[in-house]
């Protein structure tokens, strides 16, 4: 236990010492953390074959996350830079909205290198490296999704009221985090929070599924501490993207 705490403390120290523009540091992981990654990732990969959208499956082939150890942010960042121009930057824990959305406009995803506790391996209410890389990291290898992340960032930077910022956050949550689309007649996951959670992948088809309409989404509350009881399903990735882009391009006028 002491060794694990020491490793985490060192990750926090290295993260706090990082400065934008410098090379990404490497982070240490224990054998227990590597084993946790291996178990969770193996389970998720099997589920993704049937329950993730085609865009995610294609992106996963390009990223090729390692199966037997926790990947370094630096190696995934190099891959994303070559594919879509996106990069990763380390931060510990959940990042406040402005500090998360601002970098997206510049093609930077702020990501924690930390690993969820073993007691939360099927569902973690807090972001961790599994969420960042299996969820967001893979999806950022898809050019269309990468551009949508950038557009969310630009819209948040130009938001001129708390009401608009709240609407943007809710829209991001119900698309990029817990978004679903119909493919081959079934709902498929495209959101990072679902794609990186065994419990969410097991349960999303049993949630209350509603048709995706932006006006309904931005009126909905967010509770990221539980598996989502209500989810919005778009007719296709294109339909979801078109609706989101129209909203963001209009300056998120409410």
Please give the annotated binding residues for Fe cation, written as ranges.
131, 136, 177
How many alpha carbons lie under 13 Å from residue 19 in its C-beta half-sphere? Answer: 1
Integer Cα distance of 89 and 200 in angstroms: 26
* Residue set of the binding site: 131, 136, 177
The whole-angstrom separation of Cα 25 and Cα 50 is 35
Residue 61: partners with Cβ closer than 8 Å, 6 or more residues away:
none
Q: Identify which of 27, 37, 222 has the alpha carbon closest to the alpha carbon of residue 111.
A: 27
What is residue 48's three-state secondary structure?
Answer: helix
> What distances in angstroms separate CA 1 from CA 5, 26, 109, 117, 185, one per listed residue?
6, 22, 30, 12, 47
Token match 């985090």: residue?
177
């Amino acid at each position: 236990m002491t060794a694990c705490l020491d490793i985490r403390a060192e990750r926090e120290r290295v993260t706090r010492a990082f400065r934008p523009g410098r090379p990404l540091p490497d982070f240490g992981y224990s054998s227990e953390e590597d084993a946790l990654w291996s178990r969770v990732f193996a389970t998720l990969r099997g589920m993704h074959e049937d329950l993730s959208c085609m865009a995610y499956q294609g992106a996963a082939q390009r990223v090729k996350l390692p199966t037997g150890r926790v990947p370094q942010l630096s190696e995934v960042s190099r891959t994303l830079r070559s594919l879509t121009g996106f990069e990763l930057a380390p931060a510990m824990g959940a990042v406040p909205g402005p500090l998360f959305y601002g970098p997206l406009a510049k093609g930077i995803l702020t990501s924690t290198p930390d690993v969820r506790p073993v007691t939360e391996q099927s569902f973690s209410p807090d972001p961790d490296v599994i969420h960042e890389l299996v969820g967001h990291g893979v999806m950022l290898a898809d050019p269309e999704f990468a551009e949508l992340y950038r557009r969310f960032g630009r819209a948040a930077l130009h938001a001129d009221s708390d009401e608009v910022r709240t609407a943007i956050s809710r829209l991001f949550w119900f698309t990029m985090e817990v978004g679903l689309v119909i493919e081959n007649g079934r709902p498929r996951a495209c959101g990072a929070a679902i794609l990186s959670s065994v419990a969410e992948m097991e349960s999303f088809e049993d949630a209350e599924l509603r048709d995706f309409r932006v006006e309904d989404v931005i009126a909905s509350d967010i509770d990221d501490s539980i598996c989502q009881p209500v989810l919005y399903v778009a007719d296709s990735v294109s339909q979801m993207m078109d609706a989101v882009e129209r909203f963001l391009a209009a300056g998120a006028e409410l």
